[in-house]
Amino acid sequence: MAPRTIIIDDSNFIVTQLRKHFTETLGHQVVAVGKDGNEAVDLYRTHRPDLLAIDLSMPHKRGVDAIKEIIAEFPDARIVVISAVRSQEMIECIQLGAKSYIESWVFT
């Protein structure tokens, strides 16, 4: 069975590129897509994916805040941050439990 993945990013272009990469290159099933941290938390609770790919800079709730909330409820969550932003948040996400940080320019 293919790993079930959720993608959270407010850029339609990045979502399209990530969806293509996860499905065609990695063989994942993208079960949901969201545009902000609030949707990340809700979609994670609903789908309990094998992987959550999330951006940091988004409206309504930042990625780091969504990661905090998800890890608090689901300590074994597998989260990878995919963002063009290099900041202290990157380190904070890894300390919170994100498994990796990938700069999104790789997908453009």
Where residue 103 falls among pLDDT bands split at 50, 70, 90?
low
Residue 95 has pLDDT above 80, yes or no: no
Q: Where are the domains of the chain?
A: 4-107
The reported pLDDT for the residue numbered 108 is 45
Spatial separation of the C-alpha atoms in residues 33 and 49, rounded to whole Å: 12
- Do the beta carbons of residue 40 and residue 70 sit within 8 Å? yes
Give the mean model confidence (pLDDT) for residues 90-106: 59
Q: What is the mean pLDDT of residues 43-52?
A: 97
Q: State mean pLDDT over 60-76.
A: 92
3-state secondary structure of 9: coil
Pick the CATH number of 4-107 from 3.40.50.2300, 3.30.300.20, 3.30.450.40, 3.40.630.30: 3.40.50.2300
Residue 103, classed as helix, strand or coil, is: strand
